[in-house]
């Protein structure tokens, strides 16, 4: 059967019209645009979704990939183009291991401070790099700092991406200590919970060490660890 923790209903999170009155005359209606990101993915059952932002970083991402591989689970990596362009092998390894490569913009700006065309450039350039590298464009997008605006939702939809925020912020970027990161994940774990961590942007040794501890613990508790499929 499919690997444990992988969503059984791949289409569960694709955009759907809010009404049934779509025109039937052959013209495809424009997809509705979300005004809020997904913050959890509850249709996945007792599965926790692990996400890693801001990478890839050759100092930390390989260790995270190795830990995920050792436990045969899939996660999501929201990469920045300016990092990924120098780490294409890591992107390919993510894809080869079944992880989801998401779009986290090119240079990690505060999107609401940019013009619409600058936002589009940040997002489009990153999607193109991901597609060029792994053979498919990203279908998930996450705004840096969780700072979304209407342009970001609209452009994301135009580029074929769904917006994903998170349920549990490990605050690992504050380097609070491995114990606190593990506790944040353990306390926050639940069906469809999306966990935010980082594999780049500073010293991420605590994030790497924490994953090695909480991942087997979550599995032991009966959680699936998985990703929404496109």
The interface mask with Zn ion, positions 140-159, x = CB under 5 A, is ----x---------------
C-alpha 75/C-alpha 101 separation (Å) is: 9
Min dist. Cβ of residue 108 to Zn ion (A): 6
Total binding residues toward Zn ion, as defined by CB under 5 A: 3
Which residues, at least 6 apart from 122, have a Cβ–Cβ distance to it below 8 Å?
Answer: 81, 105, 106, 107, 109, 111, 114
Q: Which of 99, 108, 151, 198 is catalytic?
A: 198
Q: Which residues ranging from 108 to 147 are in contact with Zn ion (CB under 5 A)?
A: 144
User: Considering beta carbons, is residue 144 or 226 the nearer one to Zn ion?
Assistant: 144
Nearer to Zn ion, 144 or 156 (CB): 144
Residue of 53, 54, 57, 172 with catalytic role: 53
195/229 with CB nearer Zn ion: 195
Closest separation in Å from C-beta 164 to Zn ion: 12
Beta-bridged to residue 19, according to DSSP, are: none
What are the start-end ranges of the H helices in 30-175?
61-70, 81-84, 88-96, 116-134, 150-158
Q: How far is the CB of 104 from Zn ion (least distance, A)?
A: 6
From residue 142, how far is each of 130, 153, 157, 158 by CA, in Å? 14, 10, 12, 15
The verdict on whether 198 is a catalytic residue reads: yes
Closer by beta carbon to Zn ion, 86 or else 145:
145
* Rama region for 72: left / alpha / beta (φ>0; ψ in -120 to 50; rest): left
CB of 163 to Zn ion, least distance (A): 14
- The nearer residue to Zn ion, 81 or 144, going by C-beta atoms, is 144
- For this structure, is 71 an active site residue? no
At 71, list the tokens: 């436990």
**Torsion, Cα of 196, 202, 208, 211 (10° steps):** -20
168 Cβ contact partners less than 8 Å away, ≥ 6 residues apart:
184, 185, 188, 189, 193, 194, 195, 196
What is the per-residue binding string for Zn ion in 40-59, x denoting contact by CB under 5 A?
-------------xx-----
**Residues β-bridged to residue 194:** 49
**At its nearest, how many Å lie between Zn ion and the CB of residue 75?**
15
Residue nearest to Zn ion (CB): 53
Window 164-203: contact mask with Zn ion (x via CB under 5 A): ----------------------------------------
Q: Residues with catalytic annotation?
A: 53, 198
- The footprint of Zn ion (CB under 5 A) covers 53-54, 144
């Amino acid at each position: 059967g499919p690997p444990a923790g992988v969503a059984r209903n791949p289409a569960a999170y694709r955009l759907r019209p809010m009404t049934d009155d779509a025109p039937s005359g052959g013209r495809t209606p424009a997809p509705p645009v979300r005004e809020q990101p997904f913050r959890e993915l509850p249709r996945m059952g007792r599965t926790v979704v692990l996400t890693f932002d801001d990478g890839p970083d050759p100092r930390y991402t390989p260790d995270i990939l190795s830990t995920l591989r050792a436990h045969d689970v899939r996660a999501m990596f929201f990469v920045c183009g300016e990092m990924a362009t120098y780490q294409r092998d890591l992107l390919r390894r993510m894809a080869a291991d079944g992880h989801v490569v998401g779009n986290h913009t090119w240079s990690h700006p505060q999107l609401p401070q940019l013009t619409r065309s600058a936002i589009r450039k940040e997002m489009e350039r990153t999607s193109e790099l991901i597609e060029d590298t792994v053979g498919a464009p990203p279908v998930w997008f996450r705004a840096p700092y969780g700072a979304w605006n209407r342009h970001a939702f609209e452009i994301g939809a135009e580029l074929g991406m769904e917006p994903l925020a998170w349920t549990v912020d490990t605050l690992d970027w504050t380097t609070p200590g491995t114990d606190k990161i593990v506790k944040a994940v353990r306390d926050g774990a639940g069906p469809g919970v999306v966990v935010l961590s980082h594999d780049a942007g500073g010293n991420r040794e605590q994030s790497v060490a924490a994953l090695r501890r909480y991942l087997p613990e979550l599995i032991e508790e009966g959680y699936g660890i998985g990703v929404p499929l496109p």
